[in-house]
Structure 1
């Protein structure tokens, strides 16, 4: 490290901006539902098979987060940002040129998904260390922008030519990540992070049982949000919405996810995490059941509420884990807990696609997700 290097907390706004650019650009993965029908037409696939592209990206994202502590500890924020953006841009470029489902899966699912995991972990680390005493709000900000990425992707897809929605959207993402790479090269130049107690010292302070309960709670709460993010457009169209309405609802869900993250971050610093961690799955269960009964504008409202709950959830959990286990220990534990998120990403969208193919309805999947939210209440209750 050179003598003129500086710590993140010395210039916090610069690193909040770098983290925000990463999460906004990478969060576009959650706007996938606008590509479902174009991908079905392009590759002649069913709803279940098409959903697997999104599920694969989330699984690769999770694996990358799980192994991210080694990279974040070994290399500087600048190097990790360059790696993230380069892999993501390459993956989107490959997906843009894909002429088979396998090639698209490698580019979008494996490479872009893996870049998401490393970039998301890096962004959380930057946010937590920029303002250590206001972690709820700072983590809420960067995760809110991760949710807003879905809205941004809806705009990118809308600008793509009608005869090549998939290719146009992927090229746009590749260029965007290239721009983020250049900007973050300036923002993160010579930055260094805090080195805390060793992982074994951090982990020895908490029981395995606590981590298991957090894992179960995160899994069962996130299934609903990831299911809706992966199928928002087609859920609305099934409920009577038009294709134009479907694009708008993806933008709306992304915006409410961002709003939920910001609100949860602000509330977490003031009322504490316990109230929020119990309230969120309760609201989720109520909303999911209501979605089986409503159509039109009420369905749009319910989708937006589900997005808000999901945005709040992905803010509260990393913020709480960071407070419980410390900055460095929190990165390691969150990597483990993120495997629950990855499983939710595999199960949620695939379950929705499968039940739709079998029954012609999303209702069975929504009821199952509601039961999962109730399980989350049991799992999270009494976590200190």
Structure 2
């Protein structure tokens, strides 16, 4: 069969070549500052994974909406819940969607990381858009048909694959575009993941209230609209990706290998990275930092309420258990402000600490996370004991800024140690540490809390042991980070190996300078791209701050 004249040629397994990596190599005049907003467009969408809890309560009354009591089935098994059309779902059945998604994030990032390096960020970004947005559409159908297995499949399994692909799709590209500001570049993108729920949660609430009727919870319509929006926004981000030519570097910039032994000028092949002790030390560094932070996030609201009790509403000395239903509703609103404030510092910390790491180095940045985190976790029980809400909240805002900063700094740390050639795929494999921490952190803190409750402990002492154990996590992370050393020369690829994986090696023009590529600041096109992602972020920050003000009202 011959191709008709004028038809677009195809490459690979039926893939149009305008999606291939070769077709998105930047040409002279391309502005590298267009790449971060493209990455943000994807991360702001997949970041809604942190905000999925906004759907659980409405979905737990999907059948009995408008009725005084839920249509519950006594002793309903999980298997029954997956297929029932007459019983309301339990929140515990719905929360599994988040767990599936986080596990699939780590697995898909690890499995598809090598493919991403070969296929390029545009193809991976578009696949992420179809999986994440498509997962919402499948979930919408599951809600409409009242089939929980469809929600697990769409928003959990397929959506989780989109999470992994979307999360790692810009990492390698940004590191190569900004070798002079690796931390800042990856921090800008990964900041979007932390901010996705800040935008998506109030948007989902707004849509649910708009679509809600006496006969409908308004969730399936909301999921359908958001799924369509996510596909559109993420596709725009994917088509905004460009990669620099092999060997490109900014004009006038000198690689800093001579200034720091921790920043290599070589490149480690993906197949060898996990064979090095440095990979597993960094795996432990990320896992321990995330375990401590995500453990706090899992219990932030009840922790504040149970420690301070009536003091949150101007009634010091009244324990949480002594409050009536109306008072508990009041302090729940205050605790929601605390959670919102933690989310905001989680987001801001991703950009601040990643940018700071460009100045003080990645190893020193993580040492700061662990050392300062240990002090703050150990000091939090003291702040609770003296009844200082301001100190307690301040400590945890700083802790959560370093939790977010850990996510944003690790890609640049990997690029420093392993080089940039396969950093996206190596980062994908390292994200299995996140999946592990997502299970370990909440499991540890909830188990300790329950043990303390069973022992009859209440108030400020309820979380003391938990916070000391989390400080121990960070102490172990400090040691792991301290042991990270530069790789031996035998791990790095030769020039011939590098030329082979780069498909032709470095062009002569890119050896001589930047080739007129990557230059330009805030041009009209770049300004438009930044406004497109900046407006939703600004709206999300405003709504978050409005809720957080309740904490100090």
Alignment of 1:187-198 (within 5 A): 187-188=240-241, 191-192=242-243
Give per-residue Cα distances to partners, 1:106-160, cap 9 Å, x unaligned. 2222222221110110021232122222111101111112212232233224424
Instruction: Give the match's secondary structure for 1:133.
Output: coil
Aligned match for 2:156, one of 98, 109, 114 = 109
Q: Which residue of 1 aligns with 2:191?
A: 144
What corresponds to 1:7 in structure 2? 26
Once the 2 structures are TM-superposed, how far is the Cα of residue 207 of structure 1 from its aligned partner?
6.4
Cα gap change, 1:66/1:204 in structure 2, threshold over 3 Å: closer, same or farther? closer
What is the CA–CA distance in structure 2 between the aligned matches of 1:4 and 1:210, rounded to whole Å? 35
Question: Against the structure 1 CA distance between its residues 92 and 285, is the aligned structure 2 distance closer, same or farther, given a 3 Å change threshold?
Answer: farther
**How far has the Cα of 1:69 moved from its partner?**
2.3
2:36 is matched with 16
Secondary structure at the aligned position of 1:132 is classed as coil
Pick aligned residue for 1:78 from 106, 113, 122: 122
Give me the whole-angstrom Cα distance separating, in 1, the residues matched to 2:58 and 2:344: 23
Counterpart residue number, 2:436: 343
Preserved contact between residue 232 and residue 303 of structure 1 (Cα < 8 Å)? no
Instruction: Check the 8 A contact 1:224/1:284 in 2, yes or no.
Output: no
Q: Unpaired runs of 5+ in structure 1? A: none
How far has the Cα of 1:323 moved from its partner?
1.7
Counterpart-to-counterpart distance in 2, 1:247 and 1:320: 34
| TM-score of the pair, normalised by structure 2 | 0.60
Structure-2 change in CA distance of 1:236 and 1:92 (3 Å): farther
Residues 186-214 of structure 1: per-residue CA shift (max 9 Å, x gap)? 424xx446568998657668962111211
Does the aligned pair in 1 maintain the 2:97–2:156 contact within 8 Å?
yes
317-326 vs 23-32, which deviates more?
23-32
Residue 397 of structure 2 is aligned with which of 304, 316, 319? 304
Residues 200, 263 of structure 1: alpha-carbon distance in 2 compared, 3 angstrom cutoff: closer
Contact 1:26 1:116 (8 Å CA) reproduced: yes
TM-score, structure 1 normalization: 0.84
C-alpha separation between the residues in 2 aligned to 1:8 and 1:173? 34
Question: Aligned match of 1:280 in 369, 375, 400?
Answer: 369
Correspondence for 1:318: 411
Call closer, same or farther: CA 1:130–1:340 in 2, change over 3 Å.
same
Q: Which of 103, 110, 119 pairs up with 1:59?
A: 103
Kindly state the Cα deviation for residue 303 of structure 1 after the two structures are TM-superposed.
4.0
Instruction: Provide, for residues 244-303 of structure 1, a one-character-per-residue CA deviation record: whole Å limited to 9, x for no partner.
Output: 344444432232112111111221111112221111022333444455563755554444
3-state SS of paired residue (2:166): helix
Change (3 A) 1:356 1:90: farther
Shift of 1:52: 4.0
Where structure 2 has 5 or more consecutive residues not aligned to the other structure, the ranges are 1-16, 62-87, 248-264, 310-329, 486-553
1:181 paired with 2:228, answer no
Q: Confirm or deny: 8 A CA contact 1:34 1:233 kept in the other structure.
A: no
Structure 1 position 94 matched with structure 2 position 138: yes
Offset of residue 183 of structure 1: 2.1
Across the aligned residues of Structure 1 and Structure 2, the Cα RMSD in angstroms comes to: 3.5
C-alpha displacement of 1:311: 1.2
Distance verdict in 2 for CA 1:229–1:321, change over 3 Å: same
More displaced stretch, 99-108 vs 249-258: 99-108
1:330 shift after superposition: 2.0
